[in-house]
């Protein structure tokens, strides 16, 4: 299975600032990479698919970039509601696999 490694494990950022979350795959994914947001007690919510395409209803503050085996989720103008755990998922090769998550704290 493809291993997805996310960094950092925890990120503390001030409101209004920008957060940059990284995701590295154990092999090339082309652009078959998704990002999810999960708040406590809730199911994951799809933010980005195809590495950079926002899912319906996702604010433009969320942007995805990267290709191959290295990807980035950038969240600009951070708000308190962005506090959550963020996961990346590859779906280039069966089975789709997820990273271990980055916890984003808004301090």
Partner 1 sequence: QVQLVQSGAEVKKPGSSVRVSCKTSGGSFTTEAIGWLRQAPGQGPELMGIVIPTFAPPKYTQRFQGRVTITTDVSTTTVYMDLIGLRSEDTALYYCASSVGRLASFDSWGQGTLVTVSS
Note the residues at the interface with partner 1 (CB under 8 A): 4, 32, 34, 36, 43-46, 49, 55-56, 87, 89, 91-101
| Min dist. Cβ of residue 104 to partner 1 (A) | 15
- List, in sequence order, the alpha helices (H) in 35-93: none
> Is 26 or 77 the residue whose CB approaches partner 1 more closely?
26
Give dist(CA 33, CA 80) in Å, integer. Answer: 26
C-alpha dist (Å) from residue 17 to 20, 68, 75, 90: 10, 28, 9, 28
> Is 57 or 81 the residue whose CB approaches partner 1 more closely?
57
> Is 24 or 45 the residue whose CB approaches partner 1 more closely?
45
| Min dist. Cβ of residue 12 to partner 1 (A) | 18
If DSSP codes are grouped into helix, strand and coil, which group holds residue 82?
helix
């Amino acid at each position: 299975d493809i291993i997805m490694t996310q960094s950092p494990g925890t990120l503390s950022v001030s409101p209004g600032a920008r957060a940059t979350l990284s995701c590295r795959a154990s092999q090339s994914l082309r652009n078959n990479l998704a990002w999810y947001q999960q708040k406590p007690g809730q199911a994951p919510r799809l933010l980005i698919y195809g590495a950079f395409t926002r899912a319906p209803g996702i604010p433009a503050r969320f942007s995805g970039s990267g290709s191959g085996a290295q990807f980035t989720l950038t969240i600009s103008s951070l708000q308190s509601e962005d506090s959550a755990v963020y996961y990346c998922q590859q779906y280039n090769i069966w089975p789709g696999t997820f990273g271990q998550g980055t916890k984003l704290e808004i301090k």
